[in-house]
Amino acid sequence: MNDFLRESLSYFGLYRKMLQVRKKYKPVKVSFGKGRDRYFLYYEPDNKISDKIIFWVHGGGWNAGSPAFFDYVGQCVCAQGYRFVSAGYRLSPKYKYPCQLKDVCEAYNSAIKYLAEKGTDVSKIVVAGPSAGAHLASIMCYCRKVREKYDVDITHIIGFIGSGGPYSFRKDQGLTLRLLEDQLFRKDYNRRNGEPVSLMGKNHIPMLLIQSKHDGLVEFACAEDFARKAEEVGNTCELYSVTDRKNTHSWYTAGMFLETREENKGLDKFFSWIEEL
């Protein structure tokens, strides 16, 4: 309860910092389907330090958020010298799962096509996402049936980073997450078909799971469940426990991009892990 209260009280500080972000990079908006949420933003850095491209899926409890809202993440990643794609998707409760997953897969395919047509090397893609975005992106990366259904080629994905992801639908999860899941799924839907830990298969993509023991919304055990399943099937996984003082759900999943690598160890871990791939 204390961590949930800390999470709720953290929003003012987050929004205040968001308003202070300098918008140096102007992204290109590319639609991949009908509807206001079915688009991605592409950020091109002035000084590229790497040929790796980060494909990022936003969080927001499946019912909120957009690439435009999380522009500050693109500003941060671009400032580090990486090309950045921020993907949108249709939101619950109006749109039920797997609409969100379908959109993420189509956004990925469209982004790869868009970049390839620009002559950009797309051989080193890092897929990342916080919270609901980690849930959706992890299924795209590790579920073969989903990739076959939506024709997703993961050959060029070299890593996955999930922050605060609800990878398993545990009985001991909090009320807020249960309510969000009720909005996401139809009443008659078998939720195991939308649970990353149940869908994971073996492949070549190493993963970094960033999770806090003081999250307030998502149990640390969700990441432990996912890491355990990765070990069982033979996937490479590192579970990083957040040590920053700002360790509530919103701060370490997306708020960390409002700070510098020197200020935030979680953010430094995010970039350090990518650098070492």
- pLDDT tens-digit readout, 252-272: 999 999 999 999 999 999 999
Cis ω for the linkage preceding 130 (within 30 of 0): no
The answer on pLDDT for 28 being more than 90 is: yes
CATH of the domain at 18: 3.40.50.1820
Quick one: tokens of 43?
């950020």
Mean pLDDT of 147-160: 98
**What are the angstrom distances between the C-alpha of 99 and each of 38, 83, 108, 185?**
11, 27, 14, 10
pTM of the model: 0.97
Range of the domain at 210: 2-276
Looking at the DSSP bridge assignments, the partners of residue 237 are 207
Sheet with 125-130, side-by-side order of all strands: 28-31, 39-43, 83-87, 53-57, 125-130, 157-163, 207-211, 237-241
The rounded mean pLDDT for the chain is 96
pLDDT tens digits for range 108-148:
999 999 999 999 999 999 999 999 999 999 999 999 999 99
- Total domains present in the chain: 1
Quick one: tokens of 177?
């997450």
The answer on pLDDT for 251 being more than 80 is: yes
Q: How many helices (H) and strands (E) does the chain have?
A: 11, 8
CA distance 217 to 199: 22
Write out the E strands in 182-265: 207-211, 237-241
